[in-house]
């Protein structure tokens, strides 16, 4: 069974790469030409500057906050 050792080797070496993966943060980007805003993970191109801090939620949405109210 020559396939099993190769599969084990691939799993052992690729698992750390998968564990480290994380989504890229979202930013608002402002155009240097007309000042319009665009929400994207990377710069839309030449002539754009980052206009906001990183958002953790998708599409420039803030992360939802969970409020826990203790019962009495």
**pLDDT band, residue 7 (cuts 50/70/90):** confident
Supply the DSSP symbol for 58: G
* Whether the Cβ atoms of residue 42 and residue 25 lie closer than 8 Å to each other: no
pLDDT reading at 72 higher than 90 = no
3-state SS class at 40: strand
Tell me, yes or no, if the pTM score tops 0.75.
no
Q: What percent of the chain has pLDDT over 70?
A: 86
Contact 72, 53 (CB under 8 A): no
51 within 8 A of 39, measured Cβ to Cβ: no
């Amino acid at each position: 069974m020559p396939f099993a050792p190769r599969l084990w080797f691939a799993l052992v070496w690729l698992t750390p790469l998968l564990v480290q993966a994380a989504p890229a943060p979202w930013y608002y980007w402002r155009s240097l030409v007309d000042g319009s805003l665009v929400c994207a993970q990377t710069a839309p191109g030449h002539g754009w500057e980052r206009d906001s801090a990183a958002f953790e939620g998708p599409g420039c949405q803030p992360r939802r906050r969970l409020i826990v109210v203790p019962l009495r």
